Amino acid sequence: MWYAMLTLIRKELQALFTDATSLRILVMPVILQLVLFPFAATLEVKNSTLAIFNQDGGASSTELVQRLASAKAFPHILNIYSEIELTRVIDRQDAMLAIRIPSDFSRKIARRESASVQAIIDGRRSNSAQIAFSYAQQVISAFDADRTSAALPAQLVIRNLYNPNLEYRWFILPSLVAIITTVGCLMVTALSLAREREEGTFDQLLVSPITPAYIMAGKALPGILVAMLQGTIISAAAVWVYHVPFGGSIALLYLSMFCYGLSLAGFGLFISAICSTQQQAFLGVFGFMAPAVVLSGYMAPVENMPVVLQWVSAIDPLSHFIIVVKGIFLKGYDFPQAWPNLWPLLLIAAFTLTSAYLIFRNRSGQ
């Protein structure tokens, strides 16, 4: 029987890899995404344009404008001279942040009164604009500090552990290991049974002496293998191309990939078992994947979500796997540290694989 299953796995792998197009479709996207996404996916704000409307001609305002203009965060400065221009610049998204310095600014500073400036922020892109605003605020604080220069009684020392310079790429690449393998593994497992059904080869499988359990194992393992292959490519690129530190053990990484692969295969086969066409299976994959990615903590931290969505996130295998991969890369997780997020993966796998098996046996039994 083992021999029969091995043959089945070999057949699946052959179907995947001998066909040059499907091989390309499993490897090309990985490379494409590896090239594009680490550069694209960043919440840092660079190259942004700052509009400055200086209604004051005094010395202090000129100094502030010069400080803003020489700040690294704002390589482009747009000087504007009227209210109408200000509206147009923000409306047309030529700048997402404008600083207006009122006409009494220098006078108030000279009199040692509290002066004010106004920041106009494009709320359409409020996150990026808020970040740009915080850069401007830092410039203004530095302007104040140099002006008042009072000795501080103590200092505040901020140190970022695991990622000292807060490089976004260090965050993205381990997450990409998780996200890209999700696509590969789910597609292989979820679409394979549906394809056999659509092409009619499913009936042939059923009349063969192989039991449903073996058919399922034969479908699950190639998916897991694909996931691990893709995971290897991305991890290697993360370490050698993007120089993300790798602090944990490789064995633990593969063990977690296998656990994750199992839970994904469980979801894939579950989708496969309830669908009868490839379109349905594909949409099923999609219906699973989109929420899984959004709620995984990759786009926004899980702790910011409403409680109900945090519960959904707890049964999302991706959210556990991302924590483990990031932990292994950046925090040097060992097994006891990874285990709190590994057992949920195994539990999810056990649940989905069992239900897929039951549905599958019922549907093929008649």
Q: Determine if 152 is a binding residue for other proteins (CB under 8 A).
A: yes
Q: Which is nearer to other proteins, 103 or 354 (CB)?
A: 103
Please work out the total of residues on this chain that contact other proteins, with binding judged by CB under 8 A: 110
Of these, 309, 315, 347, 359, which contacts other proteins (CB under 8 A)?
A: 309
Query: Residue 306, Cβ neighbours under 10 Å: how many?
Result: 8
Q: What is the Cα–Cα distance from 59 to 67, expressed in whole angstroms? A: 12
Of these, 122, 264, 266, 288, which contacts other proteins (CB under 8 A)?
A: 122
State the nearest-atom distance from the C-beta of 57 to other proteins, in Å: 17
Q: Which is nearer to other proteins, 148 or 209 (CB)?
A: 148
Q: Determine if 286 is a binding residue for other proteins (CB under 8 A).
A: yes
Q: Which of 273, 182, 259 lies closest to 227 in space, CA to CA?
A: 182
Q: Which of 208, 180, 307, 305 lies closest to 5 in space, CA to CA?
A: 208
How many CA atoms within 13 Å lie on the side-chain side of 57?
1
Mention every residue, 6+ apart, whose C-beta is less than 8 A from residue 99.
Answer: 50, 51, 52, 53, 68, 117, 118, 119, 120, 136
129 three-state secondary structure: helix
Q: Which residue bears the tokens 């996207």?
A: 29
Q: Determine if 245 is a binding residue for other proteins (CB under 8 A).
A: no
Q: Determine if 20 is a binding residue for other proteins (CB under 8 A).
A: no
Stretch that binds other proteins, among 224-232, 287-295, 344-352, 357-365 (CB under 8 A): 287-295
Query: Residue 224, Cβ neighbours under 10 Å: how many?
Result: 22
Of these, 161, 207, 365, 366, which contacts other proteins (CB under 8 A)?
A: 161
State the nearest-atom distance from the C-beta of 42 to other proteins, in Å: 6
Window 200 to 239, contacts with other proteins (CB under 8 A): none
Of these, 45, 52, 68, 205, which contacts other proteins (CB under 8 A)?
A: 45
Q: Which is nearer to other proteins, 18 or 155 (CB)?
A: 155
Of these, 6, 59, 250, 290, which contacts other proteins (CB under 8 A)?
A: 290
State the nearest-atom distance from the C-beta of 147 to other proteins, in Å: 8
Of these, 72, 159, 209, 251, which contacts other proteins (CB under 8 A)?
A: 159
State the nearest-atom distance from the C-beta of 361 to other proteins, in Å: 23
Q: Which residue bears the tokens 């709190």?
A: 340
Q: Which is nearer to other proteins, 250 or 290 (CB)?
A: 290
Q: What is the Cα–Cα distance from 323 to 335, expressed in whole angstroms? A: 13
Report the 3 state secondary structure along 239-289: HHCCCCCCCCCHHHHHHHHHHHHHHHHHHHHHHHHHCCCHHHHHHHHHHHH
Q: Which of 28, 34, 24, 33 lies closest to 241 in space, CA to CA?
A: 34
Question: Which helix (DSSP H) or strand (DSSP E) does residue 188 occupy?
Answer: helix 168-199
State the nearest-atom distance from the C-beta of 127 to other proteins, in Å: 5
Of these, 266, 284, 317, 344, which contacts other proteins (CB under 8 A)?
A: 284
Residue 52 DSSP class: E
Q: Determine if 327 is a binding residue for other proteins (CB under 8 A).
A: yes
Q: Determine if 183 is a binding residue for other proteins (CB under 8 A).
A: yes
Of these, 14, 66, 93, 208, which contacts other proteins (CB under 8 A)?
A: 93
